[in-house]
A = this chain, B = another copy of it.
Amino acid sequence: MGVVVALEDGKRSGPGIEPLAALVKDDLDRVNQLIVNKAGSDVTMIPEVANHLISSGGKRLRPMLTLAAARMCGYGGDGHIRLAASVEFMHTATLLHDDVVDDSTMRRGKPAARMVWGNPASVLVGDFLLGQAFRMMVEVGSMKALAILSDAAAVIAEGEVRQLAAAKNLATTEDEYLYVVFAKTASLFAASAEIGPVLGGRDHGEQAAFKSYGSNLGLVFQLIDDVLDYGGNSADLGKAVGDDLREGKITLPLVLAYRRGTDDDRAFWRDVVAREDLAEGDLEHAIGLMDRYRALDDTVDRARHFGAVARDALAPFPASEFKSALLDVVAFCIERAS
């Protein structure tokens, strides 16, 4: 886990994502170059829309998983560069389509692409990036990696439709919600990690280990994201929070708070979720209920559980810089919430 250091804002944190980023830096530079090339087109709208999102400060967590897993498994070729770029394109395509589906206005602190270029461009550039992703996968020539990534593409889309169909359903159970998170988020994390040992020619057991690591890390990532949308478990209202509640999105903190609440509390949640926008005081009241019923703390606890499963998935591997960096990422994802 490394030494816990004090950050500038007074929070304490482990080494975080930096060891991983340092280990894959050269490879990631090549991925970033490839991303710029493959998002290029003489149809200028394509690089404009794509770069708006790609260069807007995503952490490149998924491609880093692919790069690290491939290297850790002794892969010496360069197919992992293309697959890592493919994974990032699949992710970017999903974001473009998600923003259209959710009528989102902001993404990563900037106006969503749809607010600048419109819904049609967002849909079509997403399709283009998905097509480019499959092209790059085919160039790499690993049928096994293609199977894993095309499975993920179908599972992601099915998860998105499932979420749409269950939108604003406060009776959603924790298990139902986790299934959506698995499909929407964890499946691409899982695929990103699993293709590393596949490229490295490792056996089924090692592939399954990386898949499990990725999948559980993805669950951690999304659950903590859900917590952060209510301001983190320290309820730090200084951050931009409340988007999920504003859009009536059912996430785990809300599932827990709703199930644990009184009839009055539930009436409040039903009312807020059904309305188009938040009224004065709604968010504060919501966070107050989350506090009272420990919904945020317990969502972080659930995330810790999946984090533990992710760590144990990698337990059989001998100690290495890569292994240590991948374990640090789990801690990093959890610590984001505190």
| Docked-complex contact B165 and A128, CB < 8 angstroms | no
Answer whether residue A328 sits at the interface, using C-beta atoms and an 8 A cutoff.
no
How many copies of this chain does the complex contain? 2
CB contacts (< 8 Å) of A135 on chain B: these are: 147, 150-151, 153-154
Chain A binding surface SS class:
helix
| Docked-complex contact A138 and B150, CB < 8 angstroms | yes
Known: A43-B158, A124-B164, A137-B150. 4 other contacts (CB 8 A): A97-B123, A100-B123, A135-B154, A138-B143
Task: Choose one: B138, B141, B161; the contact of A128 (CB below 8 Å).
Answer: B161
| Docked-complex contact B128 and A157, CB < 8 angstroms | yes
| Docked-complex contact B165 and A127, CB < 8 angstroms | no
Interface residues, chain A, CB within 8 Å of chain B? 41, 43-46, 97, 100-102, 119-121, 123-125, 127-128, 130-132, 134-135, 137-139, 141, 143, 146-147, 150-151, 153-158, 160-162, 164-165
The docked-state distance in angstroms from the alpha carbon of A132 to that of B44 is 30
CB contacts (< 8 Å) of A101 on chain B: these are: 119-120, 123-124
| Docked-complex contact B121 and A161, CB < 8 angstroms | yes
> Nearest chain-B residue to A41 (Cβ)?
B158
Q: A41-B158, A143-B141, A146-B138 are in contact. Are A164 and B121 (CB under 8 A)?
A: yes
| Docked-complex contact B143 and A157, CB < 8 angstroms | no
A54 vs chain B, min Cβ distance (A): 16
The docked-state distance in angstroms from the alpha carbon of A280 to that of B160 is 43
| Docked-complex contact B44 and A165, CB < 8 angstroms | yes
Q: Which of A127, A150, A160, A165 has the most CB of B within 10 A?
A: A127
The 3 closest A-B pairs by CB, nearest first: A131-B154, A128-B157, A131-B153
A102 vs chain B, min Cβ distance (A): 8
Q: Which of A45, A121, A150 has the most CB of B within 10 A?
A: A150
Task: Choose one: B127, B132, B146, B157; the contact of A131 (CB below 8 Å).
Answer: B157
The docked-state distance in angstroms from the alpha carbon of A154 to that of B124 is 10
Q: A45-B165, A124-B160 are in contact. Are A154 and B132 (CB under 8 A)?
A: yes
> Nearest chain-B residue to A121 (Cβ)?
B164
Q: A138-B143, A143-B143, A165-B45 are in contact. Are A158 and B128 (CB under 8 A)?
A: yes
| Docked-complex contact A154 and B141, CB < 8 angstroms | no
| Docked-complex contact A119 and B100, CB < 8 angstroms | yes
